[in-house]
Amino acid sequence: MNPFSSGTRLSDMIRAIRASKTAAEERAVVRKECAAIRASINENDQDYRHRDLAKLMFIHMLGYPTHFGQMECLKLIASPGFPEKRIGYLGLMLLLDERQEVLMLVTNSLKQDMNHTNQYIVGLALCALGNICSAEMARDLAPEVERLLQFRDPNIRKKAALCAIRIIRKVPDLSENFINPGAALLKEKHHGVLITGVHLCTEICSVSSEALEYFRKKCTEGLVRTLRDIANSPYSPEYDVAGITDPFLHIRLLKLLRVLGQGDAEASDCMNDILAQVASKTESNKNAGNAILYECVQTIMSIEENGGLRVLAINILGKFLSNRDNNIRYVALNMLMRALTVDSQAVQRHRATILECVKDSDASIQKRALELIYLLVNENNVKPLAKDLIEYLEVSDEDFKGDLTAKICSIVEKFAPEKIWYIDQMLKVLSEAGTYVKEDVWHALIVVITNAPDLHGYAVRALYRALHTSSEQETLVRVAIWCIGEYADLLVNNAGMLEVEDPITVTESDAVDIVEIAIKHHTSDVTTKAMALIALLKISSRFPSCSERVKSIIGQNKGSFVLELQQRSLEFSSVIQKHQNIRSSLVERMPVLDEATFSGRRAGSLPASVPTSGKSSLGIPNGVAKAAAAPLVDLLDLSSDDTPAPTSSSNNFLQDLLGVDLTQPSAQPVSGTMQPSQAGADILLDLLSIGTPAPVQNGSTNGDLLSMQDNNTPLASLDTISSTSPTAPSSMMDLLDGFGPTPPKIEDKGPAYPSIVAFESSSLKIEFNLAKQPETPQTTDIEAKFTNLTPNVYTDFLFQAAVPKFLQLHLDPASSNSLPANGSIKQTMRVTNSQQGKKPIVMRMRVGYKINGKDVLEEGQINNFPRGL
């Protein structure tokens, strides 16, 4: 040891850290070491640089910050000796990741080392590149890697192949450079090179369909031969794993064959024999053999149909499934999930075994099996499966109950053959695992119950019974209370008794009792208590004899700290006390809840009033504002050639719109403006139901505003500000007018302009109708009419236009994107000329469309606008 050294050795530091008894002690040791390392870094101590870095790596592994050592890695990498480089590269890979800027500094060193005469240094550089390279480095160093794929030493070639994989993952475009070198690697004998080469080709195939085609044509046979050789090869100690020669190579080859065979009958045919051989000959008593079989089954399932092979594969899975090793069963379940799409009958055969797996003690297996069972359920087997699953619910782990409950509820709902069965099953789930039942699920149950008048009595009695046995399940309590409130009379007089039922005797006060218990139970939350209050009120009207008692129970909540409960308590008390005469009509039975509305709402669509009001052409599933914002942004993007798209404001715009509207007098032709809050929503919905053009128009004015403010000329911006206030409401009016079949009459308002033929070719004619609004003299409304002059239909029709800087252009969407034969479509746009009077409007345009799937593009310049626009 060097007598001048001040620091401790690496092993001493590790010992000191291990000797620390508390976390604080450890921190102290690390702090001291870090201080010493920093000092040594500052002194630029060369002799101890690599030891410092080794220490830092250990400290890093313990989770302490080590960023100050990053530059040391670079210095070590740049030093000439192998030992320094080796530790430097290791530090680089450990302390940095691809997102750090420092990494850019290392590109040059990497390049130099990849050209080094010492092959081990080349290897170090390749390893580092493969593990942490970023997209930029990939682009810079791809040529070096390509060159090293032909290096004389196979150990470098295999490293280069893996680097190429990383490069392709980062920059898929570079894959074409590696197609030929990759194909060359497939002919190698060295296993390492072969494994990495096969993998490289698989990776290339996944990003480039051309390459896939190439490999399929050129390499399939060779790969089949390689797999045959390796599968038939005699014992070779170097590659032997549990009696199989190189299972890793087997697996890589099977993977690539899967990619090549998928969707190609010829290639699939070529590999049938060898797949059959691997599937039937591979030993299945060790993990290595099973790994190969597993991969082989996947390949058989993915390539083109061959009946015999499929049977073989399914049999292997059946054997896997009955294996005692959990790992094997797990992969079998995994594989069956994928096989389901190929051959669901075969999977159904294993249903019983899979159901057993749901009850396994291993959470991973349980989860897989449950998902698989969920996919296997259909109308025919739902009853026994649901019965089994619900029985299992009683004994399952707490962690698993959530998943299991959700799945059971879902299948019971989806496949229930009759309502009574559904109600029964849900009751069982609620009493077993009510806490895990989601809100919408128990709501759905109530909806179903109200919709089955002949089951009201049955349901309420069953719930009453269940409540006695499992009163701690919150959701069960809620459903039960709701039903007791509604159907208390049926509970007491045993009305509508079904044959399957045992009669029970419930007195009126029993019914009150059970609700009282619920309201006083310590686990009941506000929702439950609130529901219980309503139930009590309803009971008081159904059973006048209990009225007094109900009143006193309700009265107990008058002092509740929860506003909701307090209010209900006070109001209900006064209903019972002072409004005897109207009480019974107040608390009549709930009208039947509409199942369609409920399920629609559950699916996340708009409230019921919307779909009925004409077709909602947007077809938005979720939330009005959000949906409207999305197309708006798109449109603004599309129409703005040099306008910044106001993404953030687009959300507000709808609210603005509402705000504007609500302040307007109700003279507008909108239904329901009488109730202001409602009206807002209605207008919004109506707007949406008109279709896209409506919001767009408004969106474009919005865009106008913003773009104008961008304009530097003070005059122009002043102009817009003064002109906006009148425009906004007027465009609102237009918008609302848009309901009617008649388009807004723009021409009436401004001076008339002759329409112009903007463009004409042998196939297409474009005419512009021009108009101006008197309030905004700078703005010209253009209605473009596109006429198809041929007997062919144009599809995917798109009109694009560009204008010089002094103009602002906004395009609305065209009335259709397909032009019928000899027909025409329209599109409106708006041009604002900030240099009006000085410069005329000019426009460059491009039209793209498809005739019989063939792209056509037409371009032109329009300068025949009338002067002074």
Partner 1 sequence: MIHFVLLVSRQGKVRLTKWYSPYAQKERSKVIRELSGVILNRGPKLCNFVEWRGYKVVYKRYASLYFCMCIDQEDNELEVLEIIHHYVEILDRYFGSVCELDLIFNFHKAYYILDELLIAGELQESSKKTVARIISAQDQLVEAAKEEASSISNIIAQATK
Site residues for partner 1 per CB under 8 A: 2, 11, 14, 18, 54, 57-58, 61-63, 65, 81-83, 86-87, 90, 93-94, 97-99, 120, 123, 126-127, 130-131, 155, 158-159, 162-163, 165-166, 169, 191-192, 195-196, 199, 238-239, 241, 246-249, 251-252, 287-288, 290-291, 294-295, 298, 326-331, 334, 361-365, 367
Q: What number of other Cβ atoms are within 10 A of residue 194's Cβ? A: 24
With CA atoms as reference, report the closest residue to 389 among 403, 378, 404, 400. Answer: 404
Q: What is the DSSP letter of 838?
A: T
Complex with partner 1: residue 13 or 519, whichever CB lies closer: 13
Cα–Cα distance, 801 to 827 (Å, whole number):
12
Measure Cα distances from 624 to 619, 628, 786 in Å.
10, 6, 33
Element (H, E) at 572: helix 563-578
CB of 85 to partner 1, least distance (A): 10
Whether the CB-CB separation of 409 and 426 falls below 8 Å is answered with: yes
Q: Which is nearer to partner 1, 134 or 689 (CB)?
A: 134
Is the CB of 131 or the CB of 652 nearer to partner 1?
131
Q: Which is nearer to partner 1, 127 or 706 (CB)?
A: 127
Compare residues 287 and 599 and give the one whose CB is closer to partner 1.
Answer: 287
Shortest distance in whole angstroms from residue 401 CB to partner 1: 18
Give the nearest distance from C-beta 295 to partner 1 in angstroms.
Answer: 5
**Residue (of 744, 764, 760, 759) closest to 830 by Cα position:** 744
Q: In angstroms, what is the minimal distance from the CB of 96 to partner 1? A: 10
Q: Are strands 764-773 and 776-788 parallel, antiparallel or unpaired?
A: antiparallel
Residue positions counted in the chain: 869
- Number of C-beta neighbours around residue 726 at 10 A: 12
CB of 341 to partner 1, least distance (A): 14
Nearest of 738, 708, 745, 743 to residue 723 by alpha carbon: 708
CA dist., res. 677 & res. 277, Å (int): 73
Q: Which is nearer to partner 1, 329 or 529 (CB)?
A: 329
Beta carbon of residue 465, minimum distance to partner 1 (angstroms, whole number):
39
Structural contact between residues 272 and 309, judged by C-beta atoms closer than 8 angstroms: yes
Q: Which is nearer to partner 1, 287 or 730 (CB)?
A: 287
Minimum gap (Å) between residue 698 Cβ and partner 1:
41
Residue whose CB is less far from partner 1, 150 or 864: 150
Contacts of 415 (CB under 8 A, 6+ apart): 377, 378, 379, 382
Taking the complex as a whole, the smallest distance from the CB of residue 145 to partner 1 amounts, in Å, to: 11
Closer residue to partner 1, CB minimum distance, 158 or 772: 158
Nearest residue (CB) to partner 1, 14 versus 658: 14
Q: How far is the CB of 326 from partner 1 (least distance, A)?
A: 4
* Smallest separation, CB 255 to partner 1 (Å): 8
Q: Are 187 and 201 in contact (CB under 8 A)?
A: no
How many whole angstroms separate alpha carbon 492 and alpha carbon 508?
6
Contact assessment for residue 161 and residue 204, using Cβ atoms and an 8 Å cutoff: no
Q: CB-wise, 156 or 843, nearer to partner 1?
A: 156
Closest distance of CB 25 from partner 1, Å: 15
The DSSP bridge partners found for residue 850 are 795, 855
What are the structure tokens assigned to 591, written together?
């009208």
Of the pair 194, 627, the CB lying nearest partner 1 is at: 194
3-state helix, strand, coil in the chain (%, to 5): 65, 10, 30
Q: How far is the CB of 314 from partner 1 (least distance, A)?
A: 18
The SS3 of residue 215 is helix
Query: 3-state DSSP call for residue 603?
Result: coil
CA distances from 1 to 11, 38, 48, 50, 54 (A): 13, 21, 11, 15, 17
DSSP code, position 550: H
Separation between Cα atoms, residue 344 and residue 380, nearest integer Å: 14
Nearer to partner 1, 17 or 490 (CB): 17
- Report in angstroms how near the CB of residue 525 gets to partner 1 at its nearest: 31
Phi-psi region of 86 (alpha: psi -120 to 50; beta: other; left: phi over 0): alpha
Give the bridge partners for 781, in sequence order. Answer: 771, 830
Using the minimum distance from each CB to partner 1, give the nearer residue, 102 or 452: 102
Token pair recorded at residue 116: 């080094």
Report, in Å, the least distance between residue 35 CB and partner 1. Answer: 21
Q: Per DSSP, what are the bridge partners of residue 769?
A: 783
Residue 383: CB minimum distance to partner 1, A: 30
Long-range contacts of 503-509 (CB under 8 A, 24+ apart): 504/461, 504/464, 504/465, 506/461, 506/464, 508/539, 508/543, 508/545, 508/546, 509/546, 509/549
Q: Is 284 helix (H, G, I), strand (E, B) or coil?
A: coil
Q: Specify the residue, 58 or 421, whose C-beta has the smaller distance to partner 1.
A: 58
Output the smallest distance, CB 358 to partner 1, in A. 15
- Burial of 310 per CB tally in 10 Å (0-12, 13-18, 19+): middle
Nearer to partner 1 (CB atom), residue 69 or residue 130: 130
Number of other residues whose CB lies within 10 A of the CB of residue 24 = 8
